[in-house]
Amino acid sequence: MLEEILRYNKSFVENREYRKFETDKYPHKKLAILSCMDTRLTELLPAALGLKNGDAKIIKNAGAVVSSPFGSVMRSLVVAIYELGVEEILVVGHLDCGMQHLDADRVLENMLRRGISKETLELVEYCGVNYHRWLEGFESVEASVKASVESIRNHPLIPKDVRVYGLVMDPVTGSVEQL
């Protein structure tokens, strides 16, 4: 797969196809979006929200979840606000999310099947990782989005004038509902 990607990239650059994507690092709409990494949203999310390249900072992870108050999501949002001028944040979850009803035990079993040793899992757990909490999914996408919105709104480093909203998207039609 990598060889195919590199071949395509060479042609992309030689043909200057990058020119239609030229922008700067500042989000033109002063917007940051926390979204799920679901492949159905890669092009659908910006298209359904009327966003072009350069309009928003898009942060993606499994489930559009703020899982730690000082993890990479909050770090990215803090940088986006204080260094890049973001004034508004959207947390966008979606229907039929793979994180909904995620079973940590099944993930751990799959790790063992793929060659991660039981000793490694025990060592990581000994170092303080609670796998069931770390791999925790959610029952309701709406409740998860609301929890992430509240985590951002109530974070001590997020200014009160930054507006934070929660949306749930249909990954087929692109329809969004504000929570």
- Determine the 3-state secondary structure of 141 from DSSP: helix
94 annotated to bind ligand? yes
Rounded Cα–Cα distance for residues 140 and 95 (Å): 9
127 annotated to bind ligand? no
Half-sphere exposure of 11 (CA within 13 A, CB side): 6
Using DSSP bridges, classify how beta strands 88-94 and 163-169 pair: parallel, antiparallel or unpaired.
Answer: parallel
Could you report how far apart the first and last alpha carbons of the chain are, in Å? 40
Rounded Cα–Cα distance for residues 32 and 34 (Å): 7
Q: Which residues are annotated as a binding site?
A: 36, 38, 94, 97
Q: Which residues are annotated as a binding site for Zn(2+)?
A: 36, 38, 94, 97
